[in-house]
Amino acid sequence: MHGGPNRNMETVNRGIVTMVTAPPILFLLLFFSLHVSGLPGNPRPAPRVHLSFKELLDTRTIRPFSFSFNTSDYRILLMDQDQGRLYLGSREYLVALDMQNINKEPLIIHWPVSSQRKAECRLTGKGGQGECANFVRLIEPWNRTHLYTCGTGAYKPICTFINRGWRAEEYLFRLVPGFVDSGKGKCSYDPHQEAAAALINGNLYAGVHVDFMGTDSAIFRTLGDRPAVRTEQYDSRWLNEPVFVKIQRIPDSTERNDDKLYFFFREKSLDATGGASPTVLARVGRVCLNDDGGQRSLVNKWTTFLKAHLVCSVIGGDDGVETYFHELRDVFIQSTQDERNPVVYAVFSSTGSVFKGSAVCVYSMADIRNVFNGPFSHKQGHSYQWTPYTGKIPYPRPGTCPGGTFTPGFRSTKAFSDQAVNFVRAHPLMYHPVYPVHRRPLVVRTGVDYRFTTIAVDQVDAVDGRYEVLFLGTDRGTVQKVIVLPKDPSTTEELILEEVEVFRIPAPVKTMKISSKRQQLYVSSERGLTQVSLHRCAVYGKACSDCCLARDPYCAWDGENCAWANPLSSY
Ligand SMILES: *[C@@H]1O[C@H](CO)[C@@H](O)[C@H](O)[C@H]1NC(C)=O
Ligand SMILES: *[C@@H]1O[C@H](CO)[C@@H](O)[C@H](O)[C@H]1NC(C)=O
């Protein structure tokens, strides 16, 4: 792949091979502070390079969005690779940005609520912290020329279309005049409530709170030609005060009727008794995209809804105590050649004030499907333990889609038997949990004074192989760039290549989007948005050895400098 005179040099520069050039002791001193934190045997790695916001600016590898207007809550980011635009949704504003340079001629839509609506909102006693405004909570592609967007509308969610034209050169970005859709079931009322949504084949699937009080949470399907369907209302077996993190379509087979929607969330545990059991659990759930609800029961409710526990834990120390990370924060789905088997990266933090920690766990779709194909969880009465259900399981097996590979005889979920439908209603939870790949986290951070909030992953092809580079946003406004290398068959070694302060005003990272094509990361917080290059090789130093020791898979010594090794440039 990399030809030319520097070929051998590059091979040495990229990654593991470098180890032989540095004596092991020196190597340890360079890369690890040897403090042993909460989990013995798990040294806390220190970043190779730490850059303050100002130092980062000096590298000319970032651009903070500097257009000033009165907004906040830069939460919603949507990348449009075709038009080369990044769409931003914040408080009362929608902005179309140039992905190459987010400060170049942004197109701005002001989308406030009327002063009458604002007044009505205040009359209900809401808005003590400025919530009586339109917080944009959803921007999804609708068709070649239009986007669909929703906002909280001062506790009365609203949606509409945005015309963005056929091509970026048209500089078109405006709301479709006179059109307002109800946002109920698409967008939460309360801007503090997290939601997740995806627009698929003209249908909007959203995990939201659907009432003014914020007590009725559901996974909703609205818009489009399929019937509106939701999760069972006020049934804590289905959803128990959930916080939705991510929704994504993942095909299960080549048969389109088998297509499923997977959603990742955390929720209150039903068994939280104040004792040893956790109060919050991470979940993966799914429904069939072609679920149209039941005929006699579960009318307009999902009849294929199932969920499972996502485990992320580590056994630490000599006492072998298992530390669990339950608070699912963010999910990044890395696509692969096989669209049925993307890799699921998830960021967790620990609950409770006792110790502050985070972890990254990786899950395979094969493991997730195995759990959904396994036993259902069953509980007789409230005082009993969960057990695997051993009775007769109705046909088609609950969770199977109509018209799919194993159910060609069923045209719709309305044709499912009452037993099958009632079984799902009472048994939405799988018995086995989903464990991460290798049964342990990829990254663990304990004994530090920050938590991870977000994750994005890039695949980098270097001469000595493919690297998965993790970008981890923190609650202190930084992004860490991390690689994990195999050390011997059973252990791995984590390297924090850099930690950079991405905001002028430090604030927890809220949303991150990555574009490998443009080699950029877009990072937002309550107060701002910043575009950060995936690499700044020059900071590692001016000498070949500095470049080598950095072991950053993006960088290679080109004979004069430590520079980005663009895999395309050597063709
Ligand atoms: C900015 O918007 C907030 C919320 O709508 C409002 O309270 C504040 O007065 C505005 N500030 C300026 C300078 O207009
Ligand atoms: C896209 O959808 C909008 C809103 O429904 C419609 O007005 C427009 O004609 C559509 N454009 C195309 C290219 O289909």
Give 70 Cα–ligand 1 centroid separation in angstroms: 6
Residue 121 vs residues 78, 89, 130, 387: alpha-carbon distances, Å: 29, 21, 10, 47
Low-confidence ranges of the chain (pLDDT < 50): 1-42, 570-571
Q: How far is CA 159 from the centre of its chain?
A: 23
CA of 143 relative to ligand 2 center, distance in Å? 6
Evaluate whether 304 touches 288 at the Cβ level (below 8 Å): yes
Q: Choose among 257, 206, 265, 196: nearest CA to 230.
A: 206
Pick the residue whose CA is nearest to atom 7 on ligand 1: 130
Closest CA to 63 of 510, 526, 474, 523: 523
Spatial CB neighbours of 124, under 8 Å, sequence gap ≥ 6: 155, 212
Q: Give the integer Cα–Cα distance in Å for 393 and 400.
A: 12
Identify whether the C-beta of residue 168 lies closer than 8 Å to the C-beta of residue 85: yes
Distance CA 266, CA 348 (A): 10
* For residue 396, cis peptide bond before it (omega within 30 degrees of 0): yes
From 311, 312, 304, select the one nearest 285 (Cα to Cα). 304
Please tell me the distance from the alpha carbon of residue 267 to that of residue 263, in angstroms, as a whole number.
Answer: 12
Question: Ligand 2 atom closest to Cα of 161?
Answer: 4
Question: For a pocket test of ligand 1, which of 69, 70, 93, 152 has the largest count of ligand atoms closer than 8 A to its C-beta?
Answer: 70
Kindly tell me the burial class for residue 473, based on how many C-beta atoms sit within 10 Å of its own C-beta (0-12, 13-18, 19 or more).
buried
Q: With the C-alpha atoms ordered 72, 75, 81, 83, is the resulting torsion angle positive or negative?
A: negative
Is 448 within 8 Å of 437 (Cβ atoms)? no
Q: Residue 128: is it exposed, middle or buried by C-beta count within 10 angstroms (0-12/13-18/19+)? A: exposed
pLDDT, position 383: 64
Tokens 């010594």: give the residue: 557
Return d(Cα 358, Cα 461) in angstroms, integer.
28
Instruction: Provide the token pair at 376.
Output: 């259902």
Question: Which has the closest alpha carbon to 207: 199, 195, 215?
Answer: 195
**Around Cβ 157, how many Cβ atoms within 10 Å?**
26
Please report which helix (H) or strand (E) contains residue 56, including its range. Answer: helix 53-58
Does the beta carbon of 133 sit less than 6 angstroms from any atom of ligand 1? yes
452-462 and 377-378 strand pairing: unpaired
Q: Output the 3-class SS for 454-472.
A: EEEEEEEEECCEEEEEEEE
Distance, CA of 176 to CA of 171 (rounded, Å): 15
Phi, psi of 422 (to 5 degrees): -70, -30
Ligand 1 atom 9: residue of nearest CA: 70
Half-sphere exposure of residue 195: CA atoms within 13 angstroms, side-chain side: 36
Contact 159, 94 (CB under 8 A): no
CA distance 492 to 442: 8
Model pLDDT, residue 33:
31
Which residues form the pocket of ligand 2, taking CB atoms under 6 Å from any ligand atom? Answer: 142-146, 161
562 residue type, one letter: C
The model's pTM? 0.90
Distance 125 CA to ligand 2 centre (A): 39
- pLDDT number for residue 535: 96
62 CA from centroid of ligand 2 (Å): 36
Cα 129 to middle of ligand 1, angstroms: 12
130 touches ligand 1 (CB under 6 Å): yes
- pLDDT the model gives residue 107: 97
Distance CA 517, CA 432 (A): 39
- The DSSP result for 220-246, as a single string, is EEESSSSPPBBPPTT-TTT-SS-EEEE
Beta bridge partners of 222: 204
Q: Please report which helix (H) or strand (E) contains residue 550, including its range.
A: helix 544-550
